[in-house]
Amino acid sequence: MNKDFDTEDCYTVEGKLALPYTYFAGRVGSSFITTIRDKKKILGVKCNACDKVFVPPRQTCEKCFEEISGNWVELKNTGEVVNFTVVRYDDRHLPRKAPFILAMIKLDGADTPMVHILEGIEADKVQAGLRVQGVFAEETTNTILDIDHFEPVRAQQKIT
C-alpha cells in the first residue's frame, strides 16, 4: 500500500513485469557488438575533452556533452571487478540458470564499468578488485553475450 495514492476505496497494487523486447542498437552500439562478434575485440570511446574512456561506448560524453562516437579505442579483455551481485532466481529472460554472478567489470584502460556474467569462482570468494578476463563465445548471438562470460585471471597466466 502506498500512502500517497491509496484511499479507502481505491488502492495501488504492486506488480512485476518481465518483458522480452528489441531495441535499435544505433551506430555506436552496433559497432561495439559487431567488433566483439567479428574481431573478438572490445571497443570503447574516448572523450577528447576530458580523456574519459567509456565502455560500453556511447555517442556523447556524459560530462562534457562532446560528440565522441568516432573516437574508438581498443581495450584488452582484462579488467577488475568493481561490484557484483548473485542472481538467485530463474527467469527465461536471464542468460544463465540461477544462481549466477553478475559483476560490474571495469576493463583495463576504461573509466566506466560494464555489467557481465562472472564464472569460474564461488560467490563468497569474489571481491572488488578481483582480476578477470573476458572469454569470447564460440557462436554469435549478435548480443553482448558474444563475450560469453568473464572469469578470474589465473595467477600463472601472463597478461599481454
Task: Note the residues at the interface with Zn ion (CB under 5 A).
Answer: 47, 49-50, 61, 63-64
| Number of residues that this document lists for the chain | 160
Q: Report the nearest approach of Zn ion to the CB of residue 8 (Å).
A: 53
- CB-nearer residue toward Zn ion: 49 or 128: 49
Q: Tally Cβ neighbours within 10 Å of residue 159.
A: 10
Give the sheet arrangement for strand 42-46, strand by strand. Answer: 53-54, 42-46, 72-75
Degrees to nearest 5, angle at CA 146 with 115 and 62: 40
- CB-nearer residue toward Zn ion: 45 or 101: 45
Q: Report the nearest approach of Zn ion to the CB of residue 65 (Å).
A: 8
- CB-nearer residue toward Zn ion: 40 or 63: 63
**Measured between alpha carbons, how far is 3 from 114 in angstroms, rounded to an integer?**
37
Minimal CA–CA distance to 107: which of 57, 37, 157, 39?
Answer: 57
| Residue 13: all three cell numbers together | 497494487
- CB-nearer residue toward Zn ion: 111 or 151: 111
Q: Report the nearest approach of Zn ion to the CB of residue 64 (Å).
A: 3
Q: Report the nearest approach of Zn ion to the CB of residue 62 (Å).
A: 8
